[in-house]
Amino acid sequence: MRILLKLVIDCDPDAAWRAIHSPRAVAELYGPLLDLEPLIPDGLPTAWSPGDDVPVQLAAMGKVPAGRQLIHVSEREVDEPAGRVRIFRDSGIPLTGPLSSLDVWDHQMAVSPAPGEPGRTLWRDRLVIGGPTAPILWPVLWSAWQWRGARIRALAPTWAHDLPADDPEA
């Protein structure tokens, strides 16, 4: 089963790509509904890197345990007629909690320049789930993805953090 988002957001593709790699930015997408805490002593990495395997604890509303999840990171690039598409993939799996009944978890986020909209990004988000409880969990995850889409739109303008070259703080 699939859940899809396709959005044009107010930041450039490089800023969106940096945000996808930022555990802090990703955690903000789910806040305040869901918190993400590392289960490893070193904590979350500063940025996700290909090959990362990071177990995390999820908590609903910051208090109710919602299970553990393994985040496994990979990425790739493809050339499309409209330009380069960068794809970030989390192919980890829920380890405990309600989502652990799923035996497929494949979350991919793709960013590319928005056609005809300089400085904006086409964001495509796809979650594929499978398993005996997927039909039951799909509506809950679909709702969470709608929240996620609204948060992506709201937070995207804050992701562009490059300072101008003549900025005294640079």
Q: Is the bond preceding 157 in cis, omega lying within 30 degrees of 0?
A: no
Domain count across the chain: 1
What's the CATH number where 80 sits? 3.30.530.20
The pLDDT of residue 124 = 97
| Of residues 156, 126, 141, the one with CA closest to residue 5 | 126
* pLDDT score, position 109: 97
pLDDT score of 170: 46
pTM for the full predicted model: 0.89
Residue numbers of the domain that contains 111: 2-40+50-133
Note whether residue 138 is domain-resident: no
The whole-angstrom separation of Cα 108 and Cα 4 is 10
Counting as low any pLDDT under 70, the low residues of the chain are 161-170
The sign of the dihedral angle between the CA atoms of 10, 48, 70, 128 is positive
State residue 162's pLDDT score: 54
Structure confidence at residue 166 (pLDDT):
53
